């Protein structure tokens, strides 16, 4: 393939996929994956790391949202310039070497996608225990049934899967918004948002406010995970050069506002002393406590329903988005040929969707929730850094590509966000060295697999 042909294939909007995802569908994929059960408890971790200072905690939520938005805008520039299925696999292939994109896709294929799906399915069924008596084995069986069911309707086309994602997005926002707005209007506490106590805490613990802010932002960023998944379905988005960045901006921006308001609502209802007492007693579900305070026993039920829909949206979004990455790996030539075949009627990558389901079921049976969560986060973090660094590399490599959208405040924004994600990766490895080591070994195994396929391809070409 000549350079001009290659460039044309990267930038064309022609595709075998069906373009059936609009702006709201794109927002639903981003928000549906990002907004999980963490909205009800991750605020506790942020408060812990800010020395229980409410003002600094709210600043962290906003800054984490800004970091995620800038990172998302890097993806928006790359996705509008190269609107291809597979997302970061494509960008890493072009910026570095096909082996790097393959390592990212291989990690998601083996761990990231199936691990996320398995972890969320198990967590969802743990919440369902508040309505039904389910044994630990029953939770795993129910999680498997849920995964298989979601896989089946994802096999009949992106239109159905996108519609389910949009419905689950609305269904999760209703109970969350209900609790939040009631709390904002009913709450009688006037939270102290001054930063004075943070300075005192920093001096007492031999640190500084900047360091506290940094590690608290890292905690908040866990709640924003999932913003990168929209690019994997770029070939199924209507008018991607306009709708992709629009969905990213509205999706991440909207989630940032939601997280900041929800955590402020917690402070409006629960006295600061009560919040500190709960966190010190390892009772981290501040959002649940707020719901019960303002809505009584019904509040607990509403929160549980919200958590179930939130986690279902996350799981469905992963089932929908991830197989397109494996499709891109096969299209590049160094993966199973069956992975690049689209269903003749539904135009979805059938084999990758089914294989992902099988891997997810196996992980449900073999791993617990904590192991799955840590493994997935650490294994994928390094590639977020590389994709952000790919943006300036591709600007230099392909200066004449049409870029309908360009990231704001370039290059400062790219440098800052890359450094933040490097810090997140390092902290994850330090806190969980076993899963951290495994998370780094899997991409290395992916490189080996790539060169096995590469050797076979070269021998067939002779």
SS3 322: coil
Could you give the residue ranges of the DSSP H alpha helices within 270-345?
272-280, 286-295, 297-321, 323-332
Give the rounded percent of residues in the chain with a pLDDT score beyond 70.
93
Q: If DSSP codes are grouped into helix, strand and coil, which group holds residue 190? A: coil
Phi-psi category of 278—alpha, beta or left, where left has phi over 0 and alpha has psi -120 to 50? alpha
Region 137-146: what's the mean pLDDT? Answer: 92
Average of per-residue pLDDT across 333-355:
90
Length of the chain measured in residues? 462
Residue 192 contacts residue 272 (beta carbons within 8 Å): yes
Banded pLDDT at 335 (limits 50, 70, 90): confident
Q: Is residue 131 predicted with pLDDT exceeding 70?
A: yes
For the residues 218-223, what does the mean pLDDT come to?
A: 78
> Span 354-378, mean pLDDT?
75
Token pair for 99: 């082996």
Q: pLDDT tens digits, residue range 275-314?
A: 999 988 888 888 888 888 998 888 888 888 888 888 888 8
Is the predicted pLDDT of residue 384 greater than 60, yes or no?
yes
Q: Does pLDDT of 376 surpass 70?
A: no
C-alpha distances in angstroms, 112 versus 80, 105, 264, 403, 442?
Answer: 24, 9, 32, 29, 10
Q: Give me 266's structure tokens.
A: 């917690």
The predicted structure's pLDDT at residue 184:
92
> What is the C-alpha to C-alpha distance for residues 441 and 376, in angstroms, rounded to an integer?
13
Q: Is residue 428 over pLDDT 70? A: no
Domain residue ranges of the chain, discontinuous segments joined by +:
3-461
Distance CA 247, CA 250 (A): 5
Which of 10-19, 170-179, 386-395, 423-432 is the most confident on average? 386-395
Query: Is 238 exposed, middle or buried (CB count within 10 Å of its CB: 0-12, 13-18, 19+)?
Result: middle
Cβ pair 334, 102 in contact under 8 A? yes
Q: Which residue has the higher pLDDT, 446 or 112?
A: 446
Average pLDDT (356-385) is 74
Nearest to 255 by CA among 39, 23, 22: 39
Q: Which residues contact 29 (CB under 8 A, 6 or more apart)?
A: 21, 162, 165, 229, 230, 233, 247, 251, 317, 320, 321
**pLDDT tens across 188-206, in order?**
889 888 888 887 877 777 7
- pLDDT tens readout for residues 45-66: 889 888 889 999 999 999 989 9
Query: If you average pLDDT over residues 110-125, what whole number do you get?
Result: 84
Would the pTM of this model clear 0.85, i.e. be above it? no
CATH value of 3-461 in 1.10.10.10, 3.40.50.620, 3.40.50.300, 1.20.1740.10: 1.20.1740.10
Does the pLDDT value for residue 386 go beyond 60?
yes
Query: pLDDT band at residue 432, thresholds of 50, 70 and 90?
Result: low
Residue 237 pairs in a beta bridge with: 21
d(CA 185, CA 171): 22
Place of tokens 């099988």: 358
**381: nearest Cα among 117, 36, 88, 83:** 88
């Amino acid at each position: 393939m000549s350079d001009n042909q290659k460039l044309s294939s990267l930038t064309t909007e022609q595709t075998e996929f069906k373009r059936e995802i609009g702006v709201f569908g794109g927002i639903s994929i981003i928000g549906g994956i990002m907004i999980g059960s963490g909205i009800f408890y991750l605020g506790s971790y942020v408060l812990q790391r800010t020395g229980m200072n409410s003002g600094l905690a709210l600043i962290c939520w906003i800054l984490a949202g800004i970091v995620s938005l800038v990172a998302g805008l890097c993806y928006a520039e790359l996705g509008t310039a190269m609107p291809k299925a597979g997302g970061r696999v494509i960008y890493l292939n072009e910026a570095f070497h096909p082996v790097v994109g393959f390592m990212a896709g291989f990690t998601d294929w083996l761990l990231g996608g199936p691990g996320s799906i398995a972890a969320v399915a198990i967590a969802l069924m743990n919440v369902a225990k508040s309505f039904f008596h389910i044994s630990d084995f029953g939770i795993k069986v129910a999680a498997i049934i849920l995964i298989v069911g979601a896989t089946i309707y994802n096999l009949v086309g992106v239109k159905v899967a996108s519609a389910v994602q949009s419905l689950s997005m609305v269904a999760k926002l209703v109970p969350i918004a209900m609790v939040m707005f009631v709390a904002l209007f009913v709450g009688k506490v006037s939270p102290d948002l001054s930063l004075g106590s943070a300075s005192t805490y920093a001096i007492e613990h031999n640190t500084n406010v900047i360091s506290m802010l940094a590690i608290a932002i890292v905690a908040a960023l866990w709640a924003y995970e999932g913003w990168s998944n929209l690019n994997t379905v770029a070939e199924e988005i209507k008018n991607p050069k306009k709708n992709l960045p629009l969905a990213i901006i509205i999706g991440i921006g909207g989630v940032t506002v939601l997280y900041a308001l929800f955590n402020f609502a917690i402070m409006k209802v629960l006295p600061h002393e009560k919040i500190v007492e709960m966190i010190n007693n390892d009772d981290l579900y501040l959002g649940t406590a707020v719901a019960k305070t303002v809505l009584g026993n019904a509040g607990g039920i509403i929160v549980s329903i919200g958590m179930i829909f939130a986690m279902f949206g996350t799981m469905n979004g992963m089932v929908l988005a991830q197989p397109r990455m494996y499709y891109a790996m096969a299209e590049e030539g160094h993966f199973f040929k069956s992975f690049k075949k689209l269903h003749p009627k539904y135009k979805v990558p059938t084999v990758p969707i089914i294989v992902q389901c099988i891997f997810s079921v196996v992980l449900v049976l073999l791993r617990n929730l904590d192991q799955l969560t840590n493994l997935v986060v650490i294994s994928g973090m390094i590639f977020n850094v590389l994709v952000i660094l790919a943006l300036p590399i591709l600007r230099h490599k392909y200066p004449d590509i049409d870029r309908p959208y360009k990231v704001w405040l370039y290059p400062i924004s790219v440098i800052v966000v890359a450094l933040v994600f490097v810090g997140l990766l390092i902290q994850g490895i330090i806190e969980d060295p076993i899963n951290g080591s495994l998370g780094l070994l899997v991409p290395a195994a992916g490189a080996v697999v790539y060169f096995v396929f590469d050797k076979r391809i070269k021998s067939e070409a002779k």
